[in-house]
Amino acid sequence: MVDDVVSAAKHLIAGDLVAFPTETVYGLGADACNAKAVARIYSVKGRPTDHPLIVHIASMGRMGDWASDVPEYAIALARNFWPGPMTLVLKRSELAGDFVTGGQDTVGVRVPDHVVALALLEAFENAGGKGVAAPSANRFGHVSPTTAAAVVEELADYLTKDDLVLDGGACAVGVESTIIDCTGLLPRVLRPGAISTAMIEDVTGLKALSVKGQDEIRVSGSLENHYAPAAKVLLCGVPLAGQGFIAHKNIQTPSGVIRLASPSDDEEFAHTLYSSLREADILGLSEVVVIQPVGNGIAVAIRDRLKRAANSS
């Protein structure tokens, strides 16, 4: 493993792409200071170049390289939730080029909580790197991959022989990080995730705002259509024979319905959501009925992703 990440870090320094596991979803990484390598991320994903990327760093000590004017509440968030499923959007430093920020004057920064990701980022920084730009390792608009096999399934046709995919098992959280805009007086949640509004308010002692609908800040994950499998996602009604079905384990499977996941709590729901949507496509199902979790916490992120997946169908 140590050898693997050291060699993968060398590939990043050389300008190759390295897909790697994080606790949320797999990322497709490139040296965030290398414009050519970052341009390849966009072409491999088929993503519009004005959609900014998150810069991944090994520790919060690196935050000052990428960001300027970090407010106190952002430092409190970083101290409490990094490494973890949270991205902070901050005023950018000179290091953060237009090719990473999509031309905006802000940059998204995150310290992921996964041994392989952290070892890779540390090896990369030891080799002179400053940060790894990484979106989710899927084609634009598709379901994010939560296993190395899913990354290969998504991107094998677009990667070259010098690019790598690191296998770190299934991602623990399963949905993408909470994105918090820290450029205003109050924190503002741009994309819900495992770090909930209540957790943000608890740590900062401030009211956390949230974005409703399309915002002036570009967050491709907040497009109305995103996170979508080929199968049509239905969020109401009773599943019929031949349809896929995802619901809490207490809910029974009607006869002839293909049960894709039976999570026993919201965390397991998030953990299994994307792999079960992928499974629907592998099975060639045309429709999947999902009974959404009702809680706060990570259930908010699950409903957010499902709403967008359903919109794309």
Residues within the interface to Mg ion (CB under 5 A): 136
The position carrying tokens 């790598």 is 164
Which partner in Mg ion, ligand TXA, none is near 16 (CB below 5 to 8 A by kind)?
A: none
Rounded Cα–Cα distance for residues 66 and 45 (Å):
24
Kindly give, in sequence order, each residue whose CB lies less than 8 Å from that of residue 186, ignoring residues fewer than 6 positions away.
73, 206, 207, 208, 209
Residue 104 binding ligand TXA, by CB under 6 A: yes
Part in contact with ligand TXA (CB under 6 A); list of ranges 212-220, 242-250, 261-269, 301-309:
212-220
* DSSP helix/strand/coil, 216: coil
Residue type, 84: G
Residue 246 binding ligand TXA, by CB under 6 A: no
Which partner in ligand TXA, Mg ion, none is near 63 (CB below 5 to 8 A by kind)?
A: none
Residue 54 binding ligand TXA, by CB under 6 A: yes
Which partner in Mg ion, ligand TXA, none is near 84 (CB below 5 to 8 A by kind)?
A: none
Among 30, 57, 107, 119, which residue interacts with ligand TXA (rule: CB under 6 A)? 107
Q: Minimum distance from CB of 122 to ligand TXA (Å)?
A: 16
Which partner in Mg ion, ligand TXA, none is near 55 (CB below 5 to 8 A by kind)?
A: none
Rounded Cα–Cα distance for residues 162 and 13 (Å):
12
Q: Which of 9, 42, 50, 12 is nearest to 30 (CA)?
A: 12
Which partner in Mg ion, ligand TXA, none is near 262 (CB below 5 to 8 A by kind)?
A: none
Among 196, 220, 243, 272, which residue interacts with ligand TXA (rule: CB under 6 A)? 220
Rounded Cα–Cα distance for residues 262 and 246 (Å):
6
Q: Minimum distance from CB of 243 to ligand TXA (Å)?
A: 28
Q: Minimum distance from CB of 287 to Mg ion (Å)?
A: 24
Nearer to ligand TXA, 48 or 256 (CB): 48
How many residues lie near ligand TXA (CB under 6 A)? 29
Residue 27 binding ligand TXA, by CB under 6 A: yes
Is the CB of residue 74 less than 8 Å from the CB of residue 87?
Answer: no
What is the DSSP annotation of 24-58?
A: SS-EEEEETT-HHHHHHHHHHHT--TTS--EEE-S
Q: Where are the alpha helices (DSSP H) in the chain?
A: 2-13, 35-45, 63-66, 72-81, 98-101, 115-126, 148-155, 197-204, 266-282, 298-312
Interaction site with ligand TXA (CB under 6 A): 22, 24-25, 27, 51-54, 87, 89, 101, 104, 106-108, 110, 112, 134-136, 176-177, 179, 190, 217-221
